[in-house]
Structure 1
Amino acid sequence: MAAPCAGTLRVKFLLDNWYWIVTALVSGGALAWPQLGRGGANAVSPQEAVQLMNREKAVVIDVCDTAEFAAGHVVGSRNIPLATLDGAKGLPSNKTLPVVLVCARGSRAQRAAGVLKKLGHERVHVLAGGMAAWREASLPVEKSA
């Protein structure tokens, strides 16, 4: 009698153990979901951003364009539009200082996080939900002239 081929054994294993495979995939997805919903591993809530600002002197950088920044931004934040971020002078020279990136909803801030990490900044965070989440949390917003 001939031995079964390796491909047949793999298929048989998958069919015999499908419920374990599904359980592993569902468990992994359940563990990853909170991070994906927050905007990634480096995302922080508005409350966590405030703690970073108060306890660790985090620098808040708003990567919105100038008009959006003028319409309302986190009190004390610096405006460095995403397009000008690479090589901007307003970035902290101490690359170990925490940086919180903000935009309207969080997507531009995620892209900006990649830029700052490439520039060597070690502690880059993104405000999950952006200014919309900041306002929803009833945190202070200032407008520029």
Structure 2
Amino acid sequence: MFGFSKVNSISPDDLAQKLQQNKTQLIDVREVNEFRSGHIKGARNIPLSQIDRFSTTSSSKIYVICQSGMRSKKAYKILEKKGLDVTNVMGGMSAWKGKTVRG
């Protein structure tokens, strides 16, 4: 009706469990300086402005995260159109309670 499409999402707590269970692809779509100031260990930084160039040969699920969840929703839609199995992290890094690394 309003052009909204459903976005598959996961809570930060559920993401923390997924990261412990198996190998997951986590893409942080924040800008480089934001990523360097603190990110989830193992996350790959691909700013939203570059996400359309992302490709993978892996069939594993891709989780996307940003600061609040808005940019990652945009990234989700771009990656979904590419046919990738993608899930948005609700609330982004603002809602993340786990450890972060710098650099």
Corresponding position of 2:94: 132
Tell me the TM-score normalised to structure 2 length: 0.86
Higher relative contact order (CA 8 A, sep 6+): 2
Q: Specify which of 36, 57, 69 is matched with residue 106 of structure 1.
A: 69
Residue 120 of structure 1: how far off its partner (Å):
1.4
> What aligned pairs does 1:35-114 form with structure 2 within 5 A after superposition?
41-88=7-54, 91-94=55-58, 96-114=59-77
Deviations 1:8-53 (A, max 9, x none): xxxxxxxxxxxxxxxxxxxxxxxxxxxxxxxx55111112112222
What is the distance in 1 between the residues matched to 2:57 and 2:99? 27
Deviations 1:77-103 (A, max 9, x none): 000001101123xx4322x31111110
Q: Does 1:143 align with 2:96?
A: no
- Structure showing greater radius of gyration is 1
> What aligned pairs does 1:5-24 form with structure 2 within 5 A after superposition?
none
Tell me the TM-score normalised to structure 1 length: 0.63
What is the distance in 1 between the residues matched to 2:91 and 2:19? 17
Residue 112 of structure 1: how far off its partner (Å):
0.2
**Higher share in helix:** 1
State the secondary structure of the residue aligned to 2:19.
helix
The 1:114–1:41 alpha-carbon spacing in structure 2 relative to 1, beyond 3 Å, is: closer
Corresponding position of 1:4: none
Residue identity matched to 1:119: K
State the secondary structure of the residue aligned to 2:79.
helix
Residue identity matched to 1:107: M
Residue identity matched to 1:93: T
Q: Specify which of 79, 82, 89 is matched with residue 119 of structure 1.
A: 82
What is the distance in 2 between the residues matched to 1:98 and 1:43? 12
Q: Which runs of 5+ in 2 are unaligned?
A: 1-5
Q: Which runs of 5+ in 1 are unaligned?
A: 1-39
Residue 57 of structure 1: how far off its partner (Å):
1.5
Moved over 6 A (4+): none
Deviations 1:59-115 (A, max 9, x none): 110000111111111111000001101123xx4322x31111110000000000001
